[in-house]
Each structure stands twice: as C-alpha cells, then as structure tokens.
Amino acid sequence: MQHPTPLPLELLKQVSRSFYLSLRALPSGMREPIALAYLLARIADTIADTSAIAASERLDMLQEFYAAIEHGSASADTSTHLSVHANATEQRLFKALPDILTLLSKSSHQDKIAIQKVLHTISLGMRFDLEFFPDETSGKVAILNNEEELNRYTYSVAGCVGEFWTELMFSHLTLALDKNNMCQLGIRFGQALQLTNILRDCGSDLRIGRCYLPKTLLDTAGLSVEDLWDGIGRDKFKPVLSSLIHRTLDHFDAAITYVCLLPRDQIRLRLACLWPIIIGLETLLLITSTSQNKQLKLSPSAVSKIRRRDIYRILFASLFRVSSNYAIQNWARRLRSKVELVLTELVH
C-alpha cells in the first residue's frame, strides 16, 4: 500500500527542524505559502549542490525545474534523474514534487506570484554559484571580488526571502506599518542570516572551491585564499573577520527593529521572527569564540553550530520576552556586546 505524500508542513519537519519551528509559529494564512516556497527552494538547492552531476547539466535542470514551477507541473524524467543522486530525505522531496506543485497551482494568485518571484531570484543566486565557481572536484578556488558582489549575492539567496516573507505578511494580515520600510528591513534580516551561514561554513565552502569572503578584504589584510586553507595567524585574519561580523551584526540590528515594529498582539509572528535572530546571534558568538585559537585553519570540521538544547533554551526564554520591545532589544544587545568583546580580545 502506497502512503500519501506528506502535507508541506509535515514534509518540512523532515528536511528542516529549525525552520519548521518558525513555520509552526506563524499565523495560519502565512504557513502554507512559505512552506511551499521553502520546499521548492530546497529542491532547487539539492539540484544545484548535486556534485555527481556536471555543473552545466545542473544549470539545465534548474532551468527545467523553474519552468515546472511556472507551469505547475514537472516531468517524470526530472524527478527520476534527480532522485538517483539524492539521499533518503531528498528522495522524499522529489517524490512529493508533483503534490507540492499541485498545491502551488491551487494557491491564491497573489501567493503564487510571490512564490514564483522569490524562487526566480533565488535561482539567480544558485546559477551564480554554478557559473562563477569552479567544479567542486577541480581543486581550484574562486573568490568574490568585493563587498558589493557579496551584498548582491546575499540578497539573491536570502535577502529576497525576507522581502517575500514581508510581502506575504502584508497580504495576509492587517498591519498599520510602512510596507516599504518593512521590506527593506526584511531584506537585511535575510542577509544577516546568510552572512552568518557564510562565516559558519567558510571551511566547507573552501573545500568545494568557493570563497565568499571578498577579495578586497583579504587584500587589505595581506591574505590570499591559500592562506585561509593552510592556516593563518588570528591577528592577520582579525580585520577580515571583524569587518564581516560587524556588517552581520548591523543587519541583525535591522532584524530586531523589524520584530519590534510588529504589533505586540501578533505573538506568533513575533516569535517566528525572533527565534532565527537569537539563534543567529548565538551562532556568531560561537564563530568568534572559535576564532580565539592562535592559529586559525578554516577546515570543513571547523563549523560553529549551536546545540539542540540551546535552541530549546532560546525558545523557552523567548516566551517571556516576545511581548516587550525592551526585553527583545536588551537580549540582542547583550549578545552583540559579547560578540564584540570576543572580537576585541582577538588581538590580545
């Protein structure tokens, strides 16, 4: 007997436990469109990251996949071809693709347009990865040229998600807020999370030939990409790390402003936004603490990830702070101060 394909939220729980928490907290009208967008983005991400397939072929498959999103149906060949190279969780995603696309086709016109728009933007970031960076097995490394390139990239893969989230928020809720201002804050919210991921995953990205730390920053510090892999003195790397972490912290400040502007009676919405911010700030603290080693080596094993029990601690603590802007701002301020203190201590 064949089991029915899980509903989006049930499937989401299998592929992303932390994002699932925020989705469950959201007001009901926002849950399904955001879940659909996330699942489709995860499928696209799996296509882009499947190193067993040549980059040129992955680009063609991404194009085919996004055509399916536009038309509301996917060919059996696409799902079969992808599932051959997928792990068990990813295979469940591909198996559910027809049902996900059916749900997308049944979404309201406004939701469907918003989902298609954000996925198109995300696809540009994925195409950039495949076209700009060398093949994962080539042994070569490419690096972003400057901070403007980094800004464009973080917008295309995450900032646009904050914008999309905000668009849905205004279409499903009655909010007496400046929509344009909230969208701009939402973009920075997404960029804060992506910059945190870039700093956390620097070693594993280098292993597959990708360096998102801008060349202009490395040049200023007198560093090369090879230095990052071979091992560098923390004093030499400190200006690079400090610049990127302060940029990330400033984006997190915008994210906190975003949460505090939300109506206090929108508890579920405020919680859904607050959790990734605090988790992100604590991840930044782990990254800076790891960098206290005298000799840094950005290897794939050097990944800073907060423990599950710390996530539960954050969830519990948030319940007592979510209604108070002062409590939220103070919580974020204390975490920022801890990060800045560790950065200051790096040179001593």
Whether 295 and 276 share a structural domain: yes
3-state DSSP call for residue 173?
Answer: coil
More confident residue, 91 or 177: 177
Please name the residue that has the structure tokens 């696409």: 78
Average pLDDT over residues 26-41: 92
Taking each helix axis as running N to C, give the angle between helix 76-83 and helix 55-71, from 0 to 180 degrees, rounded to the nearest 10: 140
Most confident of the ranges 187-191, 291-295, 309-313: 187-191
Q: pLDDT digits over 237-287, tens only? A: 888 888 999 999 999 999 999 999 999 999 999 999 999 999 999 999 998
Whether 185 and 313 share a structural domain: yes
Q: pLDDT digits over 132-152, tens only? A: 999 988 889 999 999 999 999
Helices (H), the chain: 8-15, 17-25, 28-49, 55-71, 76-83, 88-105, 109-132, 147-154, 160-172, 179-200, 202-207, 215-220, 225-230, 234-261, 267-290, 308-319, 325-345
Whether 61 and 209 share a structural domain: no
Q: What range does the domain containing 71 cover?
A: 1-132
- Write down which residue in 132, 150, 168 finishes a domain: 132
Whether 258 and 284 share a structural domain: yes
Whether 27 and 60 share a structural domain: yes
Is the pTM higher than 0.85? The answer reads yes
Whether 1 and 31 share a structural domain: yes
Task: Kindly report the CATH number assigned to the domain that includes residue 34.
Answer: 1.10.600.10
pLDDT of residue 77: 54
Q: What is the mean pLDDT of the chain?
A: 87
Whether 71 and 147 share a structural domain: no
